[in-house]
Amino acid sequence: MESPYQLFKEHCGPKFDKFMAGIHVNRQGEVELKFWQEKLLTSFLSTHTVLNLNRDKLLSLIRDGTEMLYKCPENQCWGDVHYDRKAKEWGCGECGTAWKSVASLQDAIHEAEVGRVVSAK
């Protein structure tokens, strides 16, 4: 038995990478999809009813974390950090700072938060 992830990948065919790259999470943490992505999801779910999945369950199974959006931890920067699949790194659209891994980005965010608390005292 193949995993829902594998089945979905087969269902999308060559569009799979485009699908994954097109998943966006807004500031409220909700997944936003384009019309053609919703159509693919709907046709997958109606083909594989036996999996007993809905849109959100399926999305949580196929998401890999690279669609996440982070607030830039750089001082005085209000930009968003997102994953660049070509460069394979996380980068801020405003100040251009880049991180090689999500772990180092999260470290930087954590340090910035600690720094803000200290300087507020």
Binding site for Zn ion (CB under 5 A): 72, 74, 77, 79, 92, 94-95
Residue 47: count of CB within 10 angstroms of its CB: 11
Residue whose CB is less far from Zn ion, 20 or 109: 109
Q: How far is the CB of 99 from Zn ion (least distance, A)?
A: 11
Q: Which residues pair with 31 in a beta bridge?
A: 25
Q: How far is the CB of 51 from Zn ion (least distance, A)?
A: 40
Residue 109: name the closest of 66, 79, 71 by CA. Answer: 71
Residue whose CB is less far from Zn ion, 7 or 95: 95
Q: How far is the CB of 79 from Zn ion (least distance, A)?
A: 4
What φ, ψ does residue 21 adopt, rounded to 5°? -70, -20
Q: How many CA atoms lie within 13 A of 111 on its CB side?
A: 10
Residue whose CB is less far from Zn ion, 67 or 80: 80
